[in-house]
Structure 1
Amino acid sequence: MSDSSTVSYQGPDVQAQLPPLEISLSRVGVTGVEKVIRIRQDGTEQLYYARLECYVDLGPQQKGAHMSRFEEVVNEAIGEVILGEATFRAETLAQHVAERVRERQGARRAEVTITARYPEHKPAPVSGINTQEIYTLFGSAVASERGTRRLVGVAAAGMTACPCAQQLVQGASRERLLADGFSEAEVERIFEHVPVATHNQRGLGTLHIGLPEHSDVDIDARVLLEIVENSMSSEIYELMKRSDEGAVVEKAHRRPRFVEDCVREMVRGVVERFGHLGDDTFFSAHQKNLETIHQHNVDAERFGLLGEVRRELATGEHSPTHVSRRAWLDGTA
């Protein structure tokens, strides 16, 4: 006698049936999939709190995607990719998930995006006190008939000091010092030794590198983080002593930068640190500054192919078009 509480009926594969309207869909999938990923590093365990999005294109003769297969593939790929690895590469996991999802769903195209939050420890600039910082790691992949394109990225916070306000303050200070009897040479010496006040912004920099199908290069996310943090006026730290606070404020005011400067510095860092990457490599640099003396915030961005920006730097000629992330991932540019 069977247990009446057990459901044993296997109905038809509804997802594989014809839809009432035979039209293809650009993206169908699951979002908000949360996983905790554990990596063993130097005898310790590193945790990554990851959120995944998985999509496939859907043909006109398929009613729906098999949603349970997304979760199955994610779990399998985590086990295959992560076990035994010393470093978590979000783009590698995204690649494995995308390729398996595309195969399981019988799709022409599959896209996976991973966003992972994780801690890093770094010393404060003067005291050396150990402080924990939280960073964001991104990995994306698009698997299609021509292969898989990968995208790796990071996001980090920092601070910027406004150059415009600093020049205004310096100009007014110069007038007062000259009126008080200081010579021009003495005023210049004062400004060399004393950073001039300005207003600050808390900034969020994001940098992505996209690798085409034929590339077998691995990008070290720590290098991307260095580029992002160095692009701003100063790094920031969660825990600091007084000496550290003074050093951070002085460094920022000696390196005033607009939001646009931060993006250009990120681009400079990519060109200098990744000279071995091909011209068909994609990059995206984005900076958001949270204003302190305005109600609004400010944004700047540059994206495109490394070949585009290399030609700009070599010839001085502005590239008329910049390849977008969407166009690059889809291979339409």
Structure 2
Amino acid sequence: MASDAANCCASSKSDHTVIADVQSGVDRRHIAIDRVGIKDIRHPVRVSDRSGGEQHTVATFNMYVYLPHNFKGTHMSRFVAILNSHEREISVNSFKEMLTDMAQRLESKAGHIEMRFPFFVNKKAPVSGVESLLDYDVTFIGEIHNQHPTMAMKVVVPVTSLCPCSKEISAYGAHNQRSHVTVQVRTSDFVWIEEIIDLVEAQASCELFGLLKRPDEKYVTEHAYDNPKFVEDTVRDVAQCLNDDPRILSYIVESENFESIHNHSAYALIERDKTQTPHSST
């Protein structure tokens, strides 16, 4: 009886320690999956800013890998483990390291990571000098293929746009609206988030501020009136600045004007890969 009891205990212990790994099983449908992983997971990060400090913020991550046709599934828990192991200052280099780490640990030839977070800039009002924070929507986008990581940065910059046509035909005043200018760039060298913000705000009818006194309101109203821009003007002016920056390899510039006199938006987009031979103009 003692021997039977010992064998029973050993069998029970073995049953509890051997757990089937279903994800690693073979799939016989012969259909690869382009992206599989986790979406909309929030995680604290630290991001460097141009002032020499760092911002503690919360980012939303999307993390995917390529899954070959013969594998049944991927190991979802490993994505979370990768995030926890990279809880430090996020930079271009560390983001690329995360991409490489993900591809290796998930045993995949290709991967994709998006990290979206709010980024704050301390701004001074143009006349009073009163300071306030303004938030910008920033996304780091990383791709890795066959151990070669690449990265792009996307920044959404809210600005003011004033309609040139309205100014021309009106006896007084002109309609204006808040606009979102979105710039996505791939670069050959380091570019600060604030550099993209500055570039866009300089091309808008007027930039935005978190806090304005009455003299500041007068200034921004008149500045926008003196600097009218169609949505087409905005994307062209931003694109010209990106064309002139040798660090920018490719870009996408979008502008959406949330029209104040219509129930729709005005929209324009320019996309260019500066590493490719440009098409002839027509």
Same fold by TM-score greater than 0.5? yes
Task: Judge conservation of contact 2:177–2:259 (CA < 8 Å) in 1.
Answer: yes
Specify whether residues 251 and 8 from structure 1 end up closer, same or farther in structure 2 by C-alpha distance, changes over 3 A only: farther
Alignment partner, residue 207 of structure 2: 235
Q: Percent identity?
A: 25
Matched position secondary structure for 2:70: coil
1:49 to partner: Cα distance? 2.0
Root mean square deviation of aligned Cα: 2.4
1:67 to partner: Cα distance? 0.2
1:291-328 CA deviation, whole Å, 9 max, x = no partner? 110011111111121256x957xxxx328xxxxxxxxx
Task: Judge conservation of contact 2:44–2:87 (CA < 8 Å) in 1.
Answer: no
Q: Give the counterpart of 2:192 among 204, 220, 223.
A: 220
Specify whether residues 136 and 106 from structure 1 end up closer, same or farther in structure 2 by C-alpha distance, changes over 3 A only: same
Alignment partner, residue 200 of structure 1: 176
Alignment partner, residue 270 of structure 1: 242
1:161-210 CA deviation, whole Å, 9 max, x = no partner? 001111111xxx4xxxxxxxxxxxxxxxxxxxxxx521011101111111
Specify whether residues 142 and 40 from structure 1 end up closer, same or farther in structure 2 by C-alpha distance, changes over 3 A only: closer
Matched position secondary structure for 1:265: helix
Alignment partner, residue 4 of structure 2: none
- Please state if 1:246 is matched with 2:209: no
Alignment partner, residue 137 of structure 1: 138
Specify whether residues 299 and 30 from structure 1 end up closer, same or farther in structure 2 by C-alpha distance, changes over 3 A only: same
Q: Give the counterpart of 1:23 among 13, 23, 31.
A: 31
- Please state if 1:47 is matched with 2:47: no
Matched position secondary structure for 1:287: strand
- Report 1:169-188 matches (<5 A): 169=170, 173=171
The letter of the residue matching 1:318 is: S
Task: Judge conservation of contact 1:152–1:219 (CA < 8 Å) in 2.
Answer: no
Q: Equivalents in 2 of 1:231, 1:40: separation in Å?
A: 25
Q: Equivalents in 1 of 2:167, 2:124: separation in Å?
A: 29
Aligned length: 269
Bigger drift between 144-153 and 122-131 goes to 144-153
Alignment partner, residue 128 of structure 2: 127
Alignment partner, residue 260 of structure 2: 292
Q: Equivalents in 1 of 2:267, 2:113: separation in Å?
A: 26
The letter of the residue matching 2:42 is: E
Task: Judge conservation of contact 2:27–2:71 (CA < 8 Å) in 1.
Answer: yes
Specify whether residues 101 and 210 from structure 1 end up closer, same or farther in structure 2 by C-alpha distance, changes over 3 A only: same
Alignment partner, residue 85 of structure 2: 76
Q: Equivalents in 2 of 1:97, 1:38: separation in Å?
A: 14
Q: Equivalents in 2 of 1:119, 1:20: separation in Å?
A: 49
Matched position secondary structure for 2:215: helix
Q: Equivalents in 2 of 1:229, 1:59: separation in Å?
A: 45
Specify whether residues 202 and 62 from structure 1 end up closer, same or farther in structure 2 by C-alpha distance, changes over 3 A only: same
Matched position secondary structure for 1:56: strand
- Report 1:22-171 matches (<5 A): 22-38=30-46, 46-79=55-88, 82=89, 88-89=90-91, 91-145=92-146, 147-169=148-170
Q: Equivalents in 1 of 2:28, 2:48: separation in Å?
A: 50
Task: Judge conservation of contact 1:94–1:140 (CA < 8 Å) in 2.
Answer: no
Unaligned 5+ runs, structure 2: 1-8
Alignment partner, residue 318 of structure 1: 281
Q: Equivalents in 1 of 2:99, 2:196: separation in Å?
A: 24
The letter of the residue matching 1:198 is: A
Q: Equivalents in 2 of 1:44, 1:318: separation in Å?
A: 45
Provide the TM-score with structure 1 as the length reference. Answer: 0.75
Specify whether residues 163 and 51 from structure 1 end up closer, same or farther in structure 2 by C-alpha distance, changes over 3 A only: same
1:22 to partner: Cα distance? 2.4
Matched position secondary structure for 1:72: helix
Matched position secondary structure for 2:87: helix
Matched position secondary structure for 2:86: helix
Q: Equivalents in 1 of 2:17, 2:30: separation in Å?
A: 29
Q: Equivalents in 2 of 1:10, 1:219: separation in Å?
A: 50
1:40 to partner: Cα distance? 7.7
Q: Equivalents in 2 of 1:105, 1:145: separation in Å?
A: 13
Provide the TM-score with structure 2 as the length reference. Answer: 0.88
Q: Equivalents in 1 of 2:143, 2:136: separation in Å?
A: 24
